[in-house]
Amino acid sequence: MKILIIEDEPSLQELMFKTLVKEKYIVETASNYKEACFKITDYQYDCILLDIMLPDGNGLKLLEELKKQHRKESIIIISAKDSIEDKVYGLEQGADDYLPKPFHLAELNARIKSVMRRRWSKDGDTSIRFGNIRIETDSFRVFIADKEISLLKKEYEILFYFLNHPNHLIDKAVLAEAVWGDHIDQSDNFYFVYAQVKNLRQQLKKAGASVEIRSVYGFGYKMVSCEN
């Protein structure tokens, strides 16, 4: 899962970054309003941690812009400004949660998991499924036909992305950005993507997956049922 931290206080931003990287998230950062605008315009995220008190602008304006663009990122406002008006306005503009500063990093992680669980879960089930593949998002475990398989970190992240976009055409640059982070989409070649997808395909086939990752010439990939 890819997270954007919008936070201008360097030490807090670094602490949040290191904590979330340890939790196996792909983490990007922005330190001011201008940088955050660039990030949300050019890249996609699963969750945005938004400080509304930025040195060169109000984070609530970013929230308004995300709403105008009909973006689907989960948003958690993090702010030292303890204003009920800002909290209500932020939630009305589409924020999923509001976490006042100071906060414990364990609580931040729990809030992230909570908002993403609400996004993914169906009747309390936090797993993601397609065909006979199941990912347990809380424990990062992968099952094929109810038998657990072991994947490398990037293989897991690629599979996670595909299972969140089944039957969708996935541009290789978009996949690279989602799994390796911002700016990787500007790479001269995507051999590293090809290599990891090839390895994942072999793992899925070996385990008897009922879905496959097909190449779409000149574009990228598409995960489909083997019956299609």
Per-residue pLDDT tens digits for 203-223: 999 999 999 999 988 888 999
Instruction: Confirm if 184 and 132 have CB atoms less than 8 A apart.
Output: no
Range of lowest pLDDT (38-52, 117-131, 149-163): 117-131
Q: Three-state SS for 1? A: coil
Query: Measured between alpha carbons, how far is 197 from 152 in angstroms, rounded to an integer?
Result: 12
**What are the φ and ψ backbone dihedral angles of 217, each rounded to 5 degrees?**
-55, 130
Instruction: Confirm if 199 and 207 have CB atoms less than 8 A apart.
Output: no
Query: Measured between alpha carbons, how far is 177 from 212 in angstroms, rounded to an integer?
Result: 21
Q: What is the CATH number of domain 2-120?
A: 3.40.50.2300
Query: Measured between alpha carbons, how far is 188 from 104 in angstroms, rounded to an integer?
Result: 41
For the chain, domain boundaries: 2-120, 127-225
Take residue 216 and report the two structure tokens written for it.
């779409």
9-58 pLDDT per residue, tens:
999 999 999 999 988 888 999 999 999 999 988 888 989 999 988 989 88
- pLDDT grade for 145, boundaries at 50, 70 and 90: very high
Query: Torsion angle of alpha carbons 67, 70, 74, 75, nearest 10°?
Result: -10
53-104 pLDDT per residue, tens:
898 988 888 888 888 888 888 999 988 776 677 778 888 888 889 888 889 9
Q: What is the CATH number of domain 127-225?
A: 1.10.10.10
